[in-house]
Structure 1
Amino acid sequence: MSQVAGWHVEVEFDENDHRTRSAAMLRLRDGTELRSRAHATRHPSDPNEARIGEEFAGARALKELAEQLEAKGQREVDALHTRPPK
């Protein structure tokens, strides 16, 4: 029997003339919340396209969340292997 699961992800942006900051949060089924921050800086000669800065800053924040999630999973697997057998 399959089980349907879901995670909640939020990404917010704060932009000024040359810099886009992002904050990301991932809420897991076990109640854990993982958070990250990242930024992207626009070169002065590049056109002022906010969505491009969002894409770079958002991708970097999500990449950090992915790394945190992988580390969490590895800690949980390690904990299962260090338990004494029943």
Structure 2
Amino acid sequence: MDTKQWNAEIYINERGNDTHVRAVLTTQDDTTIVGTGHARRNPADRSVPEIGDELAVGRAFLDLGHRLVELAGADIAQAAQQG
């Protein structure tokens, strides 16, 4: 069984009530896929930065997951045309 390693880097930028995240996944063959996420705290809510981080990172990973599935679909279509 082969073991592969892909690396993910998470960049969290907080500004005021907004949290923006960029999740960068790099595959073993140096393919890079980027997902983004955003969270906004209601000004009436208590400030708990970790909650915004969790929401924004989770949304970035969801976006990244969708992009991976789309990439796999494109790779399948290309392989079908070649073979």
Q: Which has the larger radius of gyration?
A: 1
- Is the 2:36–2:64 contact (alpha carbons within 8 Å) kept by the matching residues of 1? no
Partner of 1:63: 62
SS of residue in 1 equivalent to 2:33: strand
Matches of 2:13 and 2:70 in 1, distance apart? 28
Is 2:73 the counterpart of 1:74?
Answer: yes
Q: How many percent of aligned residue pairs carry the same amino acid? A: 25
Q: Measure how far apart 1:64 and its partner are.
A: 0.9
SS of residue in 1 equivalent to 2:52: helix
Q: CA RMSD in A?
A: 1.1
**TM superposition score normalised by structure 1:** 0.88
Is 2:48 the counterpart of 1:49?
Answer: yes
Partner of 1:21: 20
**TM superposition score normalised by structure 2:** 0.91
Q: 5+ residue gaps in structure 2?
A: none
- Runs of 4+ deviating beyond 6 Å: none
Matches of 1:36 and 1:66 in 2, distance apart? 8
Matches of 2:11 and 2:49 in 1, distance apart? 13
Matches of 1:17 and 1:75 in 2, distance apart? 39
Q: 5+ residue gaps in structure 1?
A: none
